[in-house]
Structure 1
Amino acid sequence: MSDLDMSQYLGIFLDEAEEQLQQLDEAVVQLEQTPDDQELLNTIFRAAHTLKGSSASMGFNRLATLTHRMESVLDSLRQGKLAVSREIIDILLASVDTLRALKDSIAAGKGEEGDVNEVVARLEAVLAGPAAPVANKAVANAELTLDDIEQNVIRAAEVKGFRAYEIRVQLEAGCQMKSARAYLVFNNLKELGEIIKSVPHTQDLEAEKFDDTFTLAFVSREDADTLANVVKSVSEIKDVLVRPIVLEEDQPAAARAGTAPGKPGVEAAGGKNGTTAPAGEHHVNQTVRVDVQRLENLMNLVGELVIDRTRLTEVGNGLKNRLGNEELLETLEEVSLHIGRITSDLQEEIMKARMFPIDQVFNRFPRMVRDLARKAGKEIDFIIEGRETELDRTVIEEIGDPLIHLLRNAIDHGIEEPEVRLRQGKPRHGTVRLKAFHQENQIVITVEDDGAGMDAEKIKAKAIARGLISPESAARLSRREALDLIFLPGLSTSDKVTDVSGRGVGMDIVRNHIEKINGTIDIRTTPGKGTCFTIKLPLTLAINRSLLVHVDGRVYAFPLANVVEIIDVTPDSIQHVHRQQVVVVRGRVLPLIYLGQALGLGTPIPAADTYAVVIVGLAEKQVGFIVDDLIGEQEIVIKSLGNFIGKIPGIAGATIMGDGSVALILDVRSLMNFVGEEADRELAS
């Protein structure tokens, strides 16, 4: 293939290779837990086979050679010549790692940099070693199962007028020349069509590594009776069963309910009295690859439409107030409403196009947890729930690293060694659970373990020893606040440094990443029982619902996800504790501050009979911000301030209002930190 052709198809090849490698990585780890899962083995084999074919067609010989050796090992596992073991799983995972390194090298424009000889030699050593004793495996595998490639061959044959059959042949008991009888069956059928698959494999039939039954997938233009008679013409044949193969999507619902994918249907499904689904009822979802930047551009354009929709509504209302209900204004209002509906629908569809299952992030973790657990000498059951939960692509990109740190900490800090767990009355296997689900307009991700838990007093002692906090400040901390100390840079609760943890980096990165995408993280822990980290994230970072307020003649937006409630307070209800304004709300003391003061505007709080207070919260912390006036809730398009302006304390971004003016979006965490620092300064003075 020429360089021009290579460049033309390289992007598609790399995308598909990444999908196949991710599938291999996940499925091989799963195979270690369920070694008898034949369908899982078929899935792994198909992924390796697909990658081999695409690599060979692109001229990447090292990739093709390694996947071909993997195929051989996997085929031996499928046929029962080898049994799944930890050593084989290790070799297969090492092969996947080597394949990924080759793929990354190709993506970087360096070609196939890397040596495959070592891992190929390990695979060949497995094939050359003594076969594992798996009793009667050939008979167990006599059931015909078709993979995707074989099903596609059958579909192509059916288009040309062929019919697909399952032919099950049973030889006489005590047949002395089983391989010869099988050969004659093959030879006789060869004149009438084509054999797609043999179970057991033809090599096992030739070596007589089967009992007295074998099964064929066969395509032919002949009918079932003719094929049965041809097979019966061979001597020492006890019985022959010929029945149509009905692929899953071609079956009626009733037949499909009891038939596994790629397996022959019952005879009635394809017989004279059987019914088939009308062609028009079958629907196949079609997909197309789209550059992520195009989705970003579409989202920006939709954002502009949302802004103009709001402006159009305001202009229409202004004209109506001036001119009354004139006919042209009624038409304008009708058109405005229609544009509003279309814009909302378009916005929703673009949002859905940007949504991806979180499975794309979760898939990488089973392998990581397995490797870390083996390295740490721990036994861990890793459970994933909510793989299908969808969230915005930009959020998915940011959440991977925090989850990696949390899982590593759960394995290294949380889960105890097996002997320690047994002494404590726990099972040897620790459990780490990763879960995702939707909650209102947020996505919630939890990382939970049943390990040692965290001790708030120990965390405070570590923080004091590292000089991160004074003993006086530590004494004033609540248990909740003491646990939050683990997010300080340089703090580690580990007593020893490993290559996984103990250096005091990681948890501060977790919080910084989560704050970057307007999320929150909370801790729930019980010493000796375990720890649960709860992450709450917005579904998207592009468009969000916010509460708009007036302060000092300007408009500001509180992200609605952070708004707990809105209350009115009177000046005489405001009290002072260490010169910090507070108000008592349902028995709870709430810090209070004028938003203009928190933003550094330098304007005093205006005199009023009552103040509107917006209570915002992060985890269990809550602060009340006094504002001049409430505008209301509105959907806003978030715009970055850009590199020239840079990061401004208290401000997360900006949005364009319906009248064309700019409103600033508030960074709630930064504002709450300001309140805490202000209280500390007042206390110190």
Structure 2
Amino acid sequence: MVFSDAEMAVFLDELEEKIQILTDNLLLLEQSGEDDPKVLQEIFRAAHTIKGSSAVMGFTKMSSLTHEIENIFDKMRNNELKPTSSLINVLFEALDALKILRDEIVAENAEKYDTTEIIAKLKEAVAGKDVSVPAPKTTQSATEEFTAEEIEKIREFDLKGYQLYEIKVYLDPATVMKSVRAFIVLQQLRELGTVIKTVPAEELLVKSEEFSDFTVYLASGEDVDRLQNILLTISEVERVEINPKQVEDNLEIKKEQPGEEEVKATEVEGEKTASPEKTLTDFKAKTPAAASGEEKKVTQTVRVDVQKLDTLMNLVGELVIDRTRLLSVIDKLYNINRENNELVETLAEVSSHIGQITTDLQDVIMKARMLPIAQVFNRFPRMVRDLAQKLNKEVEFIVEGKETELDRNVIEVIGDPLIHLIRNALDHGIEPPEEREKLGKPRAGRLRLAAAYLENNIVITVEDDGRGIDPNAVRRKAVEKGIISEREAEMLSDKEAIKLIFRSGLSTAQKVNDVSGRGVGMDIVKSQIEQINGEVQVESQVGKGTIFTIRLPLTLAIIRALLVEHQGQIYAFPLNFVQETLIAGKEELRKVQDYDVMLLRGKVLPLISLSNLFNLPEEQEQKEWYFVVILGTGNHRLGVIVDNLLGEQEIVIKSLGEYLGQVKGLSGATILGDGRIGLIIDARGILQENEIGELNVAV
């Protein structure tokens, strides 16, 4: 029987929901340690649904696997089996196998994964035998087979002078969340070139845990040493083998298998538009109901290629521009004909209505790009549970604010920094149960992950009640590593010393293990969060715990900005970096150690002009006063001299494009209401570039 794409999509959506229900409720079952009838009923119902729907769709391996899972839950309901730790481990292994089958169905509409071993374990568990989970299998090497499209892409990059590399990445066998580590590697490689293909396929690689090595084919202008050095800085990458390949070197064209189809990006039009590198997003993500019997909402969803949403956003931007121009034309018509304005008034009414529709349309499209952060948060309870077992620690994991929504681009980036913070909290922060008892603390450490809205930002908090960060230990380690001098260490306050953990290569761990301690975690957290215009702060008290606070924009597509004018060009400063604006007389500006500075409330403020920043010709005539935009992040501040302040405005961020590429000092551009182009200032880059030490100014 052949099923339509719409029917397959319904099956996969339901499957995703039921797997999440099984995961959440298994964790609840393990935490309670008791056979909660409501939880067991919810689990049994989810497993039964998967078994039935997969059988109807013809996926026999999935149906057989869930049948065995269902048998275990049935025995639990009848008090014939207890939720022991070993039994829960086997059930989680079965869920991992279920996810692999799901990913294979998504990618190839087929089931290839061998479920014999896990089904045998489940049968042993049903019979009451003790079972254990083996070490993960190593992925078998695959032959180099490329599609005609991939061969064409390789030849295209070859003509441009790029080298094709076969990169084999070997992870530490004890790595937790291998799929996440593979995702980080791919993200890093995409910054260094173009990923042609991966073995296994990326859809399986970033979701499965059944591998410890994988291969990436990358077209890049970088050399082997640089690629190897960058990849080896990624935590839990054990070794890397990089081999340059030529277009003629064993690059066989893969033969299409009968019935093989690409994942369809949209079910409304039935187009075959998705590819392994395309990202799909739902208009509304489904959240499984809790075990308490919370009522489920039936929601109709449509899958849409994200690129189409981006195109829609650009079209709305064009509408906004034309609406503003229309208002300008109406004003001119009023001035030309002041006596009979009936037609002009009708035109004004139509223009106003178009403006209202445009605003509503923009709001709807923005909401379509938003996803609940539950998409990221849902993966952590399982990770915390497995890691706590591995570290022999007891942890109470609290998750709040999963319904908070973020732009899908922010969602894609925030996962890895949160993994680093949670892993460090478990490894470095929360003490072993015996140590906590000696300190008068509860045996189980408390780890809290929360998300909430604050003004135009979302704030994510990772908080633990562990041993905290010792500022003196951080100072000693920073001096030992040569990051700062002893004199600089002595001058730092405790709060400033703790911030040193974000410096590359700094770790206070006494020994490196397979969880953390390599000194490449916190700097990654900071850099990745800053890439999406966010910031991270840390507060800690020795013996009481640590709080990491991440502040992120709700969306990367639209930001609030301060518009300024300088030498006839409009510039936009992201408002989250603007601390204040002021007017300074020429007598307030002075030179100190070759720097332009001014005194502001008794402190030295370094200054830079936009003319100096972009190498524009300086005006010959000195002004009596100047406008200054003060940018700041943390304790670092910088004043930027501009010709005029225009006011605040919401702007749509547009890329400078491949032709211009990266321009120092700029992060993008925007189209203003009158059709002019505004250049968006890279405020963070300017602050980092112009960070200077302490200056002595005679007051």
Check the 8 A contact 1:63/1:99 in 2, yes or no: yes
Q: Which residue of 1 aligns with 2:77?
A: 78
Q: Which residue of 2 aligns with 1:295?
A: 309
**Aligned-partner Cα distance in 1 for 2:656–2:29:** 49
Q: Which residue of 2 aligns with 1:38?
A: 37
Q: In structure 2, do the counterparts of structure 1 residues 32 and 425 end up closer, same or farther at CA, with 3 Å as the change threshold?
A: same
Offset at residue 369 of structure 1 (A): 0.6
* AA matched with 1:87: S
**Aligned-partner Cα distance in 2 for 1:326–1:673:** 59
Given the alignment, which residue of 544, 548, 553 partners 2:568?
553
Q: Which residue of 2 aligns with 1:330?
A: 345
Check the 8 A contact 1:547/1:632 in 2, yes or no: yes
1:108 partner SS: helix
* AA matched with 2:23: D
Offset at residue 456 of structure 1 (A): 3.0
Q: Deviation per CA, 1:354-399: give whole Å up to 9, x if none.
A: 2222112111100001111111111111111111111222221221
Structure 2 residue 50 is the aligned partner of structure 1 residue 51: yes
Given the alignment, which residue of 385, 400, 408 partners 1:385?
400
Give matches, 1:243-322, under 5 Å: 286-293=299-306, 294-317=308-331, 320=334
* AA matched with 2:112: E
Check the 8 A contact 2:321/2:674 in 1, yes or no: no
Check the 8 A contact 2:604/2:695 in 1, yes or no: no
Mean Cα deviation higher: 553-562 or 578-587: 578-587
* AA matched with 1:607: Q
Structure 2 residue 463 is the aligned partner of structure 1 residue 465: no
Offset at residue 78 of structure 1 (A): 2.1
**Aligned-partner Cα distance in 2 for 1:624–1:374:** 51
Mean Cα deviation higher: 629-638 or 474-483: 474-483
Mean Cα deviation higher: 401-410 or 647-656: 647-656
Structure 2, unaligned runs of 5 or more: 131-291
Offset at residue 501 of structure 1 (A): 1.1
Q: Deviation per CA, 1:260-298: give whole Å up to 9, x if none.
A: 9599xxxxxxxxxxxxxxxxxxx9764222214233332
Give matches, 1:380-529, under 5 Å: 380-471=395-486, 474=489, 477-529=492-544
Mean Cα deviation higher: 590-599 or 415-424: 590-599
RMSD of equivalent CA atoms: 3.0
2:24 partner SS: helix
Check the 8 A contact 1:598/1:675 in 2, yes or no: no
**Aligned-partner Cα distance in 2 for 1:658–1:314:** 10
Check the 8 A contact 1:442/1:539 in 2, yes or no: yes
Q: In structure 2, do the counterparts of structure 1 residues 552 and 262 end up closer, same or farther at CA, with 3 Å as the change threshold?
A: closer
Q: Which residue of 2 aligns with 1:94?
A: 93
Q: Which residue of 2 aligns with 1:26?
A: 24
**Aligned-partner Cα distance in 1 for 2:113–2:662:** 43
Q: Deviation per CA, 1:629-677: give whole Å up to 9, x if none.
A: 0111122111112233222232111111223221111121111101205
Given the alignment, which residue of 659, 673, 676 partners 1:661?
676
* AA matched with 1:528: G
Check the 8 A contact 2:429/2:546 in 1, yes or no: yes
**Aligned-partner Cα distance in 2 for 1:59–1:682:** 77
**Aligned-partner Cα distance in 2 for 1:325–1:381:** 75
Q: In structure 2, do the counterparts of structure 1 residues 284 and 492 end up closer, same or farther at CA, with 3 Å as the change threshold?
A: closer
Check the 8 A contact 2:35/2:76 in 1, yes or no: no
Check the 8 A contact 2:334/2:344 in 1, yes or no: yes
Structure 1, unaligned runs of 5 or more: 132-259, 264-282
Give matches, 1:105-184, under 5 Å: 105-109=104-108, 111-129=110-128
Identity of aligned residues (%): 51
Q: In structure 2, do the counterparts of structure 1 residues 478 and 590 end up closer, same or farther at CA, with 3 Å as the change threshold?
A: farther
Check the 8 A contact 1:549/1:557 in 2, yes or no: yes
Check the 8 A contact 1:48/1:70 in 2, yes or no: yes
Check the 8 A contact 2:607/2:640 in 1, yes or no: yes
Structure 2 residue 638 is the aligned partner of structure 1 residue 623: yes
**Aligned-partner Cα distance in 2 for 1:646–1:376:** 46
Check the 8 A contact 2:627/2:641 in 1, yes or no: yes
**Aligned-partner Cα distance in 1 for 2:639–2:61:** 63
Offset at residue 530 of structure 1 (A): 1.3
Mean Cα deviation higher: 518-527 or 595-604: 595-604
**Aligned-partner Cα distance in 2 for 1:485–1:581:** 28
* AA matched with 2:676: S
Offset at residue 11 of structure 1 (A): 4.5
Offset at residue 444 of structure 1 (A): 0.6
Structure 2 residue 589 is the aligned partner of structure 1 residue 591: no
**Aligned-partner Cα distance in 1 for 2:340–2:484:** 69
Offset at residue 528 of structure 1 (A): 2.0
1:531 partner SS: strand
1:129 partner SS: coil
Offset at residue 94 of structure 1 (A): 1.3
Q: In structure 2, do the counterparts of structure 1 residues 682 and 498 end up closer, same or farther at CA, with 3 Å as the change threshold?
A: farther
* AA matched with 1:517: I
Q: Which residue of 1 aligns with 2:15?
A: 17
**Aligned-partner Cα distance in 1 for 2:339–2:642:** 36
Offset at residue 626 of structure 1 (A): 2.0
Q: In structure 2, do the counterparts of structure 1 residues 427 and 583 end up closer, same or farther at CA, with 3 Å as the change threshold?
A: farther
Q: Deviation per CA, 1:322-342: give whole Å up to 9, x if none.
A: 766861443333332222111
Higher helix fraction (1 or 2): 1
Offset at residue 405 of structure 1 (A): 1.1
2:530 partner SS: helix
Offset at residue 317 of structure 1 (A): 4.3
Q: Deviation per CA, 1:67-106: give whole Å up to 9, x if none.
A: 1111111122223232322222212111111111222233
Offset at residue 425 of structure 1 (A): 2.4
* AA matched with 1:96: L
Offset at residue 606 of structure 1 (A): 6.7
**Aligned-partner Cα distance in 2 for 1:605–1:380:** 66
Check the 8 A contact 1:550/1:627 in 2, yes or no: yes
**Aligned-partner Cα distance in 2 for 1:325–1:526:** 74
Q: Deviation per CA, 1:530-560: give whole Å up to 9, x if none.
A: 1111111111111222111112321111112
Check the 8 A contact 1:594/1:605 in 2, yes or no: no
**Aligned-partner Cα distance in 1 for 2:63–2:6:** 20
Check the 8 A contact 1:597/1:604 in 2, yes or no: no
1:291 partner SS: strand
Offset at residue 306 of structure 1 (A): 2.5
**Aligned-partner Cα distance in 1 for 2:696–2:333:** 52
Q: If the length of structure 1 is used for normalisation, what is the TM-score? A: 0.72
Check the 8 A contact 2:571/2:680 in 1, yes or no: yes
Offset at residue 432 of structure 1 (A): 0.9
Q: In structure 2, do the counterparts of structure 1 residues 285 and 492 end up closer, same or farther at CA, with 3 Å as the change threshold?
A: same
Offset at residue 61 of structure 1 (A): 1.7
Check the 8 A contact 1:306/1:637 in 2, yes or no: no
